[in-house]
Chains A and B, each alone.
Chain A
Amino acid sequence: MSEDVKKFLYVNRKAPYGTIYAQESLEVVLIGAAFDQDVEMAFLDDGVFQLTKNQDTKGVGLKNFSPTFRALGDYEVTKLYVEQESLDERGLTLDDLQDIQYEDEDDDWAEKPSIRVVSRAEMGKIMANQDVVLSF
Chain B
Amino acid sequence: MATLHTVNKSPFQTQTLLSCLSHVQAGDSVLMIEDGVYGAMGSTTLADAVAGLGGQVNLFVLGEDLAARGIDAGRVADGITKIDMDGFVDMVASTDRTQSWL
- CB within 8 Å of B: which residues of A? 14-19, 45-46, 49, 52-60, 62, 64, 66, 88-91, 96
- CB within 8 Å of A: which residues of B? 8-10, 12-13, 34-35, 38, 41-45, 47, 63-65, 67-72, 75, 84-85
Nearest residue (CB) in A for B44 is A91
Distance between Cα atoms of A6 and B60 in the complex (Å): 47
Q: Are B13 and A46 within 8 A (Cβ)?
A: yes
Distance between Cα atoms of A41 and B2 in the complex (Å): 46
Q: Which of B35, B42, B70, B75 has the most C-beta atoms of chain A within 10 angstroms of its own C-beta?
A: B70
Tell me which of B63, B68, B75 contacts A57 (CB under 8 A). Answer: B68
B69, chain A: closest CB distance, angstroms:
6
Tell me which of A52, A59, A89, A90 contacts B70 (CB under 8 A). Answer: A52
Q: Are A60 and B41 within 8 A (Cβ)?
A: no
Distance between Cα atoms of A60 and B47 in the complex (Å): 25
Distance between Cα atoms of A14 and B35 in the complex (Å): 10
Assuming the A-B contacts A89-B44, A91-B43, A91-B75, are A46 and B38 also in contact, with contact meaning beta carbons closer than 8 angstroms in the complex? Answer: yes
Q: Are A16 and B69 within 8 A (Cβ)?
A: yes
Q: Are B12 and A62 within 8 A (Cβ)?
A: no
Q: Given A15-B38, A89-B12, A90-B12, list of 11 further CB < 8 A pairs?
A: A16-B69, A17-B35, A17-B68, A18-B34, A19-B35, A45-B12, A45-B13, A46-B12, A46-B35, A56-B67, A89-B45
Tell me which of B9, B63, B68, B72 contacts A62 (CB under 8 A). Answer: B68
Note all chain B residues with C-beta closer than 8 A to A46: 10, 12-13, 35, 38
Distance between Cα atoms of A52 and B44 in the complex (Å): 15
Distance between Cα atoms of A90 and B71 in the complex (Å): 12
A9, chain B: closest CB distance, angstroms:
21
Note all chain A residues with C-beta closer than 8 A to B45: 88-91
Note all chain A residues with C-beta closer than 8 A to B63: 59
Note all chain B residues with C-beta closer than 8 A to A52: 69-71
Note all chain A residues with C-beta closer than 8 A to B34: 17-18
Note all chain A residues with C-beta closer than 8 A to B9: 18
Q: Which of B9, B12, B69, B72 has the most C-beta atoms of chain A within 10 angstroms of its own C-beta?
A: B69
Distance between Cα atoms of A17 and B62 in the complex (Å): 14
